[in-house]
Chains A and B, each alone.
Chain A
Amino acid sequence: MPRAFYWLMPHPLLTILLTVVWILLQNKLSAGMLVFGLILGIIIPVITQAWWPDRPNRFRMSKMISYSMVVIRDILVANVQVAIIVLTRSNESLRPAWIVIPLDLKQPEAITVLAGTITLTPGTVSADLSDEGHSLLVHVLDTDDPDAVRDEIKDRYERRLKEIFV
């Protein structure tokens, strides 16, 4: 039974996501749309399975939700901070800096989520990955202590991501 289930749904979460996106695209919920969404949600992961090798095999959805809440809160707070910087500070008094974040994360999916989070929170933009994928280059708009920014990103986001992608 688990084997048949695995054959039918290689990515159960992707199946749910595709179904939800399909229903949202239709903008109304009906039984027919739900069934058609489920058909798409089952067929697409099976067909595309070959192009996603080494996917993270464990993914904690509950931790991901709390992580999203933290990120949304940070986006709101940091947006106001950066808006104040844009409106009040002169170009000369800005202290932009590059910071290098040594990565403990290994999976490409986890690193992608971390880089996306860093770019979405205003004030920091993730710029590049080192050639072997062990460091992340981040540009900071204004900081007087680059090391503190690095430690905050590692402690606030990377530590949580390590618990999500086990």
Chain B
Amino acid sequence: MTELAAALVAFCLIVGSIFAMVGAIGLLKFNDSMTRLHAPTKVGTVGIGALLLASMIHSWAFGDGSLHEVLIMAFLFVTAPISANFIAKVNIHKGACVTPPSPSRDDTWSTLNVPEEDRELADTSQN
């Protein structure tokens, strides 16, 4: 039984580290800031998920058992999209990527939306 648990833990660790490595390779390999953003989302989901699963199996098989990992997973799932969204917003704001097409129903994207009285200021700061 303990051997099966150890094998499961090892398997989860390997899967998790493979996905973490693929995420790191993607982060280095891609040459555009927006495509580069796709790599960390992989590490954040399956990579970390498999590592936490390994930790959970290990604690239930060899220790007292722990469910903290479920909380870590939940917080990661809630916070990871927010940081990705902020990096994307910075890219759009600084013009570090291909300019996005204009929205189909409204005037502009909220990141590019500059209030009327600040237009002049925004133009000078970009040059």
Task: Report which A residues bind B (CB closer than 8 A).
Answer: 21, 24-25, 27, 75-76, 79, 82-83, 86-87, 91, 94, 96, 98, 100, 102, 115-116, 118-120, 122-123, 125-135, 137, 139, 141
**Contact B35–A137 (Cβ < 8 Å):** no
Question: Majority SS of interface residues in chain B?
Answer: helix
**Residue in A79, A83, A134 whose CB lies within 8 Å of B103:** A134
**Contact A134–B38 (Cβ < 8 Å):** no
Report the separation of the CA atoms of residues A139 and B18 in the bound assembly, to the nearest whole angstrom: 25
Given contacts A128-B111, A135-B103, contact A119 B71 (CB under 8 A): no
Question: What are 23 sample pairs from A and B whose C-beta atoms fall under 8 A apart?
Answer: A79-B19, A79-B46, A86-B42, A96-B32, A96-B35, A96-B98, A98-B98, A98-B101, A102-B104, A102-B105, A119-B81, A120-B41, A122-B38, A122-B42, A126-B85, A126-B88, A127-B85, A128-B89, A128-B109, A129-B109, A131-B110, A132-B106, A137-B103
**Best-surrounded residue of A94, A123, A127, A141 (most CB of chain B within 10 A):** A127
**Contact A120–B92 (Cβ < 8 Å):** no
